[in-house]
Chain A
Amino acid sequence: MTRLREEVKKALSCKRVSWALTRFADNYVVAREKAYAGKDFAVLRQRVAQIKEETIARLEELAEQFVREATRRGAVVYRAASAEEARAYIADLARAKGIKTVVKSKSMATEEIHLNRFLQEQGLEVVETDLGEWIIQLSGQRPSHLVMPAIHMSRQEVAELFRRQIGVEVEPEISQMVQLARRELRKKFLSAWMGISGANVAVAETGTVAILTNEGNGRLTTTLPPVHVVVVGLEKLVPRLADIVPILEVLPRNATAQILTSYVTLITGSVPAVDPEGNYLPQKELHIILLDNGRTRMAADPVFREALKCIRCAACLNVCPVYQQLGGTFGAVYTGGIGVILTAFFTGFEEAAQLQELCLGCQRCREYCSANIDLPGLIEELRRRVVAKKGVGPAARVALAGILPRRRLFHGFLKTAARMQAPWVKEGKLCRLPFFPELTEGRALPPLSSVPFRERTAHLPRPQSPRGKVVFFSGCLIDYVFPGIGEAVGRVLAAMGRELVHPEGQGCCGFPAWQAGLPGTFARLAQQNLAALAEIEAEAVITACPTCTVALKYLYPEVLKGDAEWAELTRVLAEKVTDFSSFVWERREELLPFLAPIREKITYHDSCHLKYTLRASCFPRELLLAGGAELKEMEPAELCCGFGGSFTLKFPELSRAILERKLQAIEGSGAETVALDCPGCLWQIGSVFSGKTKHTAEILAASLKYPQAP
């Protein structure tokens, strides 16, 4: 078992964390929606993204302007190239001034450079003043969330910590503990000679830094000590003061579903102070450290520069199904999907190379990102670079690069496997798998079908006088595990008067190879499929697997764009490819007369690719409703089922934990049937749900009035 998988298992063994995170996440999604009332998130985040794009393009110029302006207003600006330089600057400053006591307000940049440990080693007393950070500091842990560092701890744990570390008896009663923190930390504020803060925004035009807090510790840190040090990453720069408005509008809403934090502080240059001895200083010392530490390198990277748009709202963590299960284990200093990318540049490639495996590519974070960052896309790119550097491991290499692109070999392999699995199949379910016993623990997986779909096409119903011809791309799961879905597609389309063609030369869409970071193998598969599909003149190319649709429609053009010969073919194919439900919905008038009412209580599960990439998850719902089904929505419907292709093989326990959560949602809906449009989700959900789990095509096909089209 890999070290990472060990860590994952350990994190999963503590249910408290996932309980707290999922409970927060559910409330968050609803509260956030409310906080955006009267605002258009899409427009706002576009503005944020534009501002940040300008920042990245003009990074050096803006940094210089910021230095000029802040200096003009009395600040001292230091440009630190590395974490060491930043730490040394602060330590030297403290030493030169004879400072012994420091208060800090929450700053991820200082976490990034491990400032506290360094200053403490230099003999300084450093106190975090954000309540969550203080708790984390007292407990010797590291923050588990960008915005809510102690979200993983219970009130009892905090009370126990206070008893142990401060020596004060306190009931595990939150308001009492907060008052205790106020008293303890007030003493620190009043006696500190240096305050260290981060900044949420740095404005080049005016040399201003903006700091957002709710507790007010940011204001005290920047007001009481006579020396103030700001540590701010270069990417926090924006060109103009007016640019902070969209950031102020998005950041609190996206972070904690607040319209604005209690305090927003704009500091421009030096201001008066009184020191702990009561001396009035007309000009306090303000030092601003503009931190690079890998950011310029990131800005020079054609792909990863996009991650510099991040404003650290943590929305991507809040909604991430993996983060919800693992908390801080999914990440390093910075956590979640964005943490993986930042770790690669700020900490080290090796650490990030491990962590990237934990992203199951569900796409949900992309929907919520304040800066419109394609985080799953960036993680995929990171994976490709990891694979390019280290390879994929022998088993995956054989399976993905060796067998997958050889269609006949692949086919033969699966046929043999279908025969060999017999001893483990009971009542049509796979009960225990050799090699992967974790996969079948406590659930029954569907076995490989003894007759794949490609050998069943001759028996599909055919309309007498076809109204058109459609090509069906079945994909591996339908071909070898769920041929019944393919047959259902055939029956529905026949009722609609379509002749279904299933070209023999098609194989796996290649997504597993793409996902594993093997673009070369993926391109080979793309070419094979293109050659097989392009031959046939057809109204549309239909798939009943959204992942195949995404591969054919979006990824083929991308991976083959440099090749003139293929580019045109991919473009033509991309236009014709559509998922089953969208195709039928568009032509529903042709189908509805042939449907008997669907008398089922159905809940609909959103498959990630259907919802977030194809944006088509409304169509199956509307079809089912039009067919007479009673739709009972689960909450949340869009949460991933935890399948994620090879993810479920690599992290079976994690995949299972995410699935458990989905199962709760399904059972909470009270429906008897789960409908979905993805055979992968069907594989996953069907293995644990005690009711029926069906593809939309199967539900429609079962309701056809006539088995054969008229």
Chain B
Amino acid sequence: MAEREELISAFSAQAQALGAEVYRASSPEEARALVKRLIEATGVRRVALASSPLLAPLNLALVIEAAGAELVKGSLREQAEQAEMGITAFELAVAETGTLVQDATELDTRLFSMLPPIHLALIPVKGLVANLEEALNYWLAKGEIPGYMAFISGPSRTADIERVLTIGVHGPGRLLIVLLGEEEAELND
């Protein structure tokens, strides 16, 4: 338990240092309320939601509506192009590097995490691992690795002009991370 807390704080510190915003919710209700607040706070109107077994029970479509935004429609490309925020789920996160790890083989996951200017990433705290090696071992242990795996550390960045760091080139300029905690996490909060 203490170990998990250490991973969480290491991950949060690292991800924040890279420019991501990290939030935490210890129950599904909290998660729903948090997502609603984040949509409201960012002021986005159009949201794209990737399907995922992790997100299904949260029923975020309702949350999006409740926040006064709408779920984008059309082909996957149209959705991704129109959305101001994309919501996707991650399986793992690496504490040492502040990295989110995702099987992005499904097209909605891949598009919604990259095209909209804001990316809201949800990740269960039990998916936290210490380092890259553990993350890779997790997938290796599952047998075949997914067709498209994404490791994401902070928002999109460039320093190609005069080495000045600038956030948000081709990918999202904002990365909001919500750690979905288990009950045990509450004790230490």
**A residues whose Cβ falls under 8 Å from a Cβ of B:** 20, 23-24, 27, 73, 129-132, 135, 148-151, 153-155, 158, 174-175, 177-179, 181-182, 185-186, 189-190, 206, 208, 214-217, 219-220, 222-224, 241-242, 244-245, 248-249, 256, 259-274, 276, 278, 280
Mask of B171-186 contacts with A, CB within 8 angstroms, 1/0: 1100000000000000
B180 to chain A, nearest CB (A): 23
| Partner of B147 from A177, A217, A268 at Cβ < 8 Å | A268
B54 interface residue (CB < 8 Å to A): no
Say whether B111 faces chain A, with CB atoms less than 8 Å apart: yes
Q: Interface with A: B25-33, B41-49, B72-80, which one?
A: B72-80
Please classify the interface of chain A as helix (H, G, I), strand (E, B), loop, or mixed, using the class held by over half of its residues.
mixed
Q: How many A-B residue pairs have CB under 8 A?
A: 173
- Could you tell me if A178 and B140 are in contact, using CB atoms closer than 8 angstroms? no
B22 beta carbon closer than 8 Å to chain A:
no
Return 8 A-B CB contacts under 8 Å, by A number. Answer: A132-B160, A151-B163, A177-B161, A206-B144, A242-B136, A261-B153, A262-B18, A265-B151
Give the distance in Å from the alpha carbon of A248 to the alpha carbon of B96 in the complex: 13
How close is B128's CB to chain A, nearest CB, in angstroms?
A: 16
Min distance, Cβ A154 to any Cβ of chain B, angstroms: 6
Q: Is B161's CB under 8 angstroms from A174's CB?
A: yes
Taking the nearest CB of chain A, how far is it from the CB of B18, in angstroms?
A: 8
Q: What residues on A are CB-neighbors of B171 within 8 Å?
A: 215-216, 219-220, 262-263
Cα(A469)–Cα(B65), bound, Å: 91
B151: chain A residues within 8 A (beta carbon):
260, 263-266
Measured CB to CB, the nearest residue on chain A to B99 is: A260
Segment at the interface with A among B1-9, B55-63, B85-93, B102-110: B102-110
Q: Which residues of A contact B98 (CB under 8 A)?
A: 259
Our pick among B76, B77, B169 for the contact of A182 (Cβ within 8 Å) is B169
| Residues B136 and A244 in contact, CB atoms below 8 Å apart | yes
B155 within 8 A of A: yes
In the complex, what's the smallest C-beta–C-beta distance from B55 to chain A, in angstroms?
Answer: 19
Instruction: Name 9 extra pairs, CB < 8 A, besides A268-B145, A274-B107.
Output: A132-B161, A179-B168, A219-B110, A220-B114, A259-B96, A259-B97, A260-B151, A268-B149, A271-B147
Contact of A155 among B110, B155, B161 (CB under 8 A): B161
Smallest CB–CB gap between A85 and chain B, Å? 27
A262–B153 touching, CB < 8 Å = yes
Given A155-B161, A158-B161, A260-B97, check contact A272 B107 (CB 8 Å).
Answer: yes
Known: A266-B149, A274-B76. A214 touches B161 (CB 8 A): no
Shortest CB–CB separation between residue B21 and chain A, in angstroms? 15
Q: How far is the CA of A224 from the CA of B111 in the complex (A)?
A: 8
Whether A217 and B169, one on each chain, are in contact in the complex, defined by CB atoms closer than 8 angstroms, is yes
Q: Which secondary structure characterizes the binding site on chain B? A: loop
Pick the contact of B159: A186, A249, A256, A269 (CB < 8 A).
A256
- Nearest residue, chain A, Cβ from B153: A260
Q: How far, in angstroms, from A262 to B166 measured CA to CA in the complex?
A: 13
A223 touches B169 (CB 8 A): no
Closest-by-CB residue of A relative to B155 is: A262
- Bin chain B's interface residue count: 35 or more
List of B residues within 8 angstroms of A273 by Cβ: 107
CB-CB < 8 A to B152: which residues of A? 262-263
B150 within 8 A of A: yes
Chain B: minimal CB distance from A36 (Å)? 13
User: A241–B169 contact, CB under 8 A?
Assistant: no
Minimum CB–CB distance from B149 to chain A (whole Å) comes to 4
- Complex: chain B residue closest to A266, CB-CB: B149
Q: Closest chain A residue to B110 by CB distance?
A: A223
Chain A residue contacts of B147, Cβ below 8 A: 73, 267-271
Most chain B CB atoms below 10 A, which of A24, A222, A269: A269
Q: Is B170 an interface residue (CB 8 A)?
A: yes
The 5 closest A-B pairs by CB, nearest first: A216-B171, A132-B160, A264-B151, A278-B75, A215-B169
Residues in B110-151 with C-beta less than 8 Å from chain A:
110-111, 114-115, 132-133, 136-137, 140, 144-151
Among A158, A177, A260, max chain B CB count under 10 A is at: A260
A131 neighbours in B (Cβ, 8 Å): 158, 160-161, 169
Q: Is the CB of B132 within 8 A of A274?
A: no
Least CB distance from B134 to A in Å reads 10
B189 CB within 8 Å of chain A: no
What chain B residues lie within 8 Å of A175 (beta carbons)?
Answer: 166
Complex contact A214–B157 (CB within 8 A):
yes
Which residues of B lie under 8 Å from residue A151 when comparing CB positions? 163
Given contacts A148-B163, A269-B147, contact A280 B81 (CB under 8 A): no
Residues of B within 8 A of A214 (CB): 156-159, 169
B187 at the interface (CB under 8 A from A): no
A568 to chain B, nearest CB (A): 47
A215 and B158 contacting across the interface, CB-CB below 8 Å: yes
Complex Cα gap A20–B111 (Å):
36
| Bound Cα distance A268, B148 (Å) | 6
CA distance A280 to B106 in the complex (A): 12
Q: For B98, B99, B151, B170, which residue has the most chain A Cβ atoms within 10 angstroms?
A: B170
Q: Which residue of B lies closest to A240 (CB)?
A: B140
Q: Which residues of B contact A73 (CB under 8 A)?
A: 147
- In the complex, the answer to whether B75 meets A248 with C-beta atoms within 8 Å is no
Cβ B114 vs Cβ A245 within 8 A = no
- Do B170 and A220 touch (CB < 8 A)? yes
Beta-carbon contact of B148 and A271 below 8 Å: yes
Query: Which residue in chain A gives the minimum CB-CB distance to B160?
Result: A132
Output the least CB separation between B25 and chain A (Å): 25
Q: Which residues from B are CB-within-8-Å of A245?
A: 132-133, 136
